[in-house]
């Protein structure tokens, strides 16, 4: 028995555990195929260091880089009716939800938070593409309404990061009803005279582009993000024609007047601060790290003493 538990079992365990390590530490860029080290990728905000492809960023990671010092408070989102249609494809809808919750560690496909960005108080909402393709169901609708209500209550601008494959088919017509619901939520901000800024990330498609994602006062997109209602493959098959290069990508939409800006992720925060403060009529934020405040004369005995090391040496001698 000892031989089995002391020698054989560790041997078997080490055989399996060794293989898992490289997969967790390295990820492959879906655009150019470069292997990227996880720490390097995180430092670069999930943007490929080789081809600048903007990979999905979870709402939590996004908020950590958006808010001052990575500090934010989550805004509560009302719960929804679970599985109203008793939908089932290969798997039951509640099982799919549970699997997505386990994978992402989040309750649903959208996270709402409040905090300060460049000392500017804001409310932000971000859609999670890793959670069932960021699909818009009742919860996402509730989240956007909660975000808009909170923004109106606090008189703050709302910044929304979109990423979605469209409506959530498991909720059928109820998911489509989120299009008018969220449109009304955006209208609430307009009536309150508060800025609503949308950042479209790769990919933002379907019902999401037919509602709240295209209703911003300012429309910003990340480079090369796919933004469309029906995808290019569907259109190509329907009209049986080759589509132009870069069709439905951020840069193409900017050229054709659908967007205001296409901004690299590393510049996004500064740009959002500038735009938000401008829209609120606030003075520009002070950029860069400030030097430590200079103490007034007569208040600093310690540094003066330190310049004479021989004085400090005397008592010990
Ligand atoms: Zn790449």
- Residue 130 is classified by DSSP as T
Q: Do 204 and 184 form a contact (C-beta atoms < 8 A)?
A: no
**pLDDT one-digit tens code per residue, 145-157:** 999 999 999 999 9
* Beta strand segments in the chain, E: 26-28, 35-37, 72-74, 110-117, 120-127, 158-164, 196-205, 218-221, 227-228, 261-262
**pLDDT one-digit tens code per residue, 219-230:** 999 999 999 999
What integer pLDDT is reported at residue 285 of this predicted model? 85
What integer pLDDT is reported at residue 7 of this predicted model? 67
Percent of the chain with pLDDT over 90: 77
Which CATH number is associated with domain 56-279? 3.90.226.10
Distance 38 CA to ligand 1 centre (A): 14
Provide the mean pLDDT of the chain. Answer: 88
Which contiguous run of DSSP H or E holds residue 304?
Answer: helix 301-306
**Mean pLDDT throughout 91-99?**
95
Distance 155 CA to ligand 1 centre (A): 40
What integer pLDDT is reported at residue 45 of this predicted model? 95
Distance 246 CA to ligand 1 centre (A): 17
Domain boundary assignment for the chain: 24-55, 56-279
Residue 94 in tokens: 């509640």
**pLDDT one-digit tens code per residue, 253-312:** 999 999 999 999 999 999 999 999 999 999 998 766 656 666 655 554 444 444 444 444
State yes or no: 228 annotated in a binding site. no
- Residue 100 is classified by DSSP as H
Distance 52 CA to ligand 1 centre (A): 6
Distance 126 CA to ligand 1 centre (A): 24
């Amino acid at each position: 028995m000892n031989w089995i538990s002391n020698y054989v079992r560790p041997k078997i365990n080490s055989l399996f555990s060794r293989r898992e390590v490289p997969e967790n530490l390295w990820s492959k860029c879906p655009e150019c195929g470069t292997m990227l080290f996880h720490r390097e990728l995180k430092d670069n905000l999930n943007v490929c260091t080789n081809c600048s492809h903007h990979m999905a960023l979870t709402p939590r990671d996004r908020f950590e880089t958006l808010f001052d010092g990575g500090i934010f408070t989550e805004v509560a989102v009302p719960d929804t009716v679970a599985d109203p249609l008793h939908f089932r494809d290969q798997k039951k809808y509640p099982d799919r939800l549970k699997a997505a919750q386990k994978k992402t560690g989040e309750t649903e496909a959208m996270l709402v938070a409040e905090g300060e960005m460049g000392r500017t108080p804001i409310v932000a909402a971000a859609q999670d593409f890793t959670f069932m393709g960021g699909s818009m169901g009742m919860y996402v609708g509730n989240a956007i309404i909660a975000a808009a209500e909170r923004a109106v209550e606090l008189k703050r601008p709302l910044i929304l990061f979109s990423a979605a494959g469209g409506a959530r088919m498991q909720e059928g017509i109820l998911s489509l009803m989120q299009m008018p619901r969220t449109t009304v939520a955006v209208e609430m901000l307009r009536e309150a005279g508060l800025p609503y800024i949308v950042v479209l990330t790769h990919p933002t498609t379907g019902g999401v582009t037919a509602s709240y994602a295209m209703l911003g006062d300012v429309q910003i997109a990340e480079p090369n993000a796919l933004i469309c209602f029906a995808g290019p493959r569907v259109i190509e098959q329907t009209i049986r024609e080759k589509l132009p290069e870069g069709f439905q990508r951020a840069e193409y939409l900017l050229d054709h007047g659908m967007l205001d800006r296409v901004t690299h992720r590393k510049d996004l925060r500064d740009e959002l601060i500038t735009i938000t403060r401008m829209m609120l009529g606030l003075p520009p934020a002070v950029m860069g790290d400030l030097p430590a405040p200079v103490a007034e004369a007569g208040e600093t005995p310690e540094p003066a003493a330190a310049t004479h090391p021989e004085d400090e040496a005397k008592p010990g001698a």
